[in-house]
Amino acid sequence: MKTLLENKMKIIYLLAGGLYALAFPFKDSFHLFPAIILSAAIYFSQFFDKDVKLKSVLINTLLFLWGYNLVGYYWLTFTLQVFGGLFPPFNILMWQLFTLIIAPQFYLFVLIYFFIKKKFPALLSIKNRFLPIAMATLWVVLEYYTPQQFPALFGHPWLALAPKLKFAPIFGTPIFSFLSVYIGICLYLLTIQKQRNKFPWLVIISTLIIQFSLGDIQTPNSNDKTRLRLVQANIGNDLKLKSENGIQLASNQVVNVFKDMSSKEYTEKPDLIIWPETSYPRILSTTQRKSVPYELASLVRKMETNFFIGTYDLASYRADLFEQQYNTAILINDQGKIAQTYHKRILIPFGEGLPFGPLNRYFAKVIKNISFFAKGENYTHFKYDNQSFMSLICYEVLFPRYVMDYLNSLEERPRYIINLTNDSWY
């Protein structure tokens, strides 16, 4: 019976990981926002057991991350099959191994907890009224500074309440991660440990009242306007992959679809025409040549405006394909010249690389359909006419610190942000 109860408790951690994933937008913006609080309550409850062992906590953590992986990243099997050329059971195995590295901040938290337990056990007394605050604060620091492949933080599900999050411009994600973990811990202490301490709930309720009484985040008014044309061609994966693999007929078809949509009639001439990530399927060499190919130059001259296009840029002339190209965004001026270039710096795991560091070069010899792009090195402040913007490419927008570093690197604040995404996914 004892073994049965222990196994039942283990399953709860697996379910808690699934709840963690379900708290984020899932399908057609579906999410279960309160699940993030319940998930935190279950996971962090184990740290209030004075007899808990390191082995037990590590197993619970792996189960939690496994549940998170099963519910949140089920699509990796499809990605590895279509883009990586890995078929069952190898794509499933790779997906399951991802559980081990999906969120390293959990392991760090466990190690720090047991270090404190060994050296300063009195600090972890359940009677310590400041312990929940200390644990939530430690978690936020680890979560914020630990590199992750897919940064899904305890604070992110609060976006469901936007634009009510007036604290966000001041404190960013960390304040909401703190609230998720702190409320979860306090909920556990109230319901399971039967603690009637009013102080934590006073902190929680006061914080929430202040947060939601401040009103909505306001969009700044500006008379400075720019006319954009966003070209979404809905190129499917099959046609896109054929065009990227050099099949000329497919490449021509993709380019012609974008050209036709870009040159449709308009009531007011656009200032900038935008194509998605890697929409132009031919490899450029922007360091060697600033003129775009004729098929683009003729379109630019016809439209007499600027273009912002996702494409590929040559990174090296090595014989192998490993890190030979950049995932690139280029600004083309109305003269058909490449004015500025941005190379994607944060590459998506299992699509543009693998999260295995120096081993990637060896995997690249076996897994042919993953791009293994080179990483960009510079931030670009794009400028045209009297406008300016910064560009992120797809996955990069998930990293608030990267966006902050990008903004802080620029001498002037850009007017807006363009995020290009590979439209064959949608």
Same domain membership, residue 235 and residue 209: no
Same domain membership, residue 154 and residue 252: no
Instruction: Give me 260's structure tokens.
Output: 């036709």
| Residue 48 within any structural domain of the chain | yes
Which of 55, 53, 54, 71 is CA-nearest to residue 15? Answer: 71
The residue among 190, 213, 236 that closes a domain is 213
The residue among 186, 213, 240 that closes a domain is 213
Give the pLDDT of residue 321.
73
CB 73 within 8 Å of CB 348: no
| Residue 222 within any structural domain of the chain | no
| Residue 218 within any structural domain of the chain | no
Which of 396, 250, 229 is CA-nearest to residue 329? Answer: 396
Same domain membership, residue 237 and residue 191: no
Segment 195-226, tens digit of pLDDT: 888 888 998 999 999 999 988 888 777 677 88
DSSP 112-162: HHHHHHHH-GGGG-TT-TTHHHHHHHHHHHHHHHS--SS---TTGGGGGGT
Same domain membership, residue 45 and residue 156: yes
Same domain membership, residue 242 and residue 208: no
Same domain membership, residue 324 and residue 277: yes
CB 180 within 8 Å of CB 36: yes
Same domain membership, residue 72 and residue 163: yes
Give the pLDDT of residue 6.
55
Same domain membership, residue 258 and residue 195: no
What is the crossing angle of helices 90-97 and 54-72, to 10°?
130
- The DSSP secondary-structure symbol of 327 reads E
Rounded distance, CA 163 to CA 380, Å? Answer: 29
Segment 237-256, tens digit of pLDDT: 888 888 988 899 999 999 99
The CB density around residue 417, as the number of other CB atoms within 10 Å, is 13
- Mean pLDDT, rounded, of the chain: 90
Rounded distance, CA 249 to CA 24, Å? Answer: 40
Phi, psi dihedrals of residue 218, rounded to the nearest 5°: -95, 140
Segment 253-303, tens digit of pLDDT: 999 999 999 999 988 999 999 999 999 999 999 999 999 999 999 999 999
Which of 420, 353, 423, 367 is CA-nearest to residue 393? Answer: 420
Give SS3 for 77. Answer: helix
Residue 245: CATH number of its domain: 3.60.110.10
Same domain membership, residue 244 and residue 191: no
Range of the domain at 64: 2-213
Same domain membership, residue 232 and residue 208: no
List of E strands, 263-347? 272-274, 283-284, 306-314, 325-332, 338-343
Give the pLDDT of residue 145.
92
Cα angle 53, 55, 60 (rounded to 5 degrees) comes to: 95
Same domain membership, residue 333 and residue 304: yes
What single letter denotes the amino acid at residue 339?
A
**Total domains in the fold of the chain:** 2
Q: Do strands 272-274 and 306-314 pair parallel, antiparallel, or not at all (unpaired)?
A: parallel
Q: Is the peptide bond before 163 cis (omega within 30 degrees of 0)?
A: yes
